[in-house]
Amino acid sequence: MRTTWTLTLAGLVPFAALAAALAYLGKESALFFPLLDAFKTIAAIALSFLGGIRWGMTLAKDRPALWDLIPAMLAPALGWACLFMPDPLSIVLLLLAFAAQGAWDSITAQRAGMWPWFARLRSLATLIIVGIHMVVFFAAY
């Protein structure tokens, strides 16, 4: 459990570093838009990872249902689509995807009787990542 918490929080460091750089540099910097693209890319990758967690949780059931597997693909698909969308819209949609995925993971973990720490971890990580996305949004727009 401790390792999971450590790795999850460490995984937020690149997000925070990119958000800080974007806020510090401002849109006038030549590095701003490449760093914004890097932020969107790491967000799409993270959403894919979270979708994989959901997929794995569903496959662990005796009889995984199609309606449980399909939603596990929504956040990753949206994350990848955001790579090709205009920036204000993409940042907002990424924020919403992380918020929805985190809420879904936390609620499911509580209802399914999973480890209590998993729901707390997903809730905290979601609050942090949503806050980071807000910083990026306000830095960019």
pLDDT in tens, 14-45: 999 999 999 999 999 999 999 999 999 999 99
3-state secondary structure 33-58: HHHHHHHHHHHHHHHHHHHHHHHHHH
CA atoms of 68 and 57, how far apart (whole Å):
10
Q: What pTM did the predictor assign?
A: 0.92
- pLDDT grade for 107, boundaries at 50, 70 and 90: confident
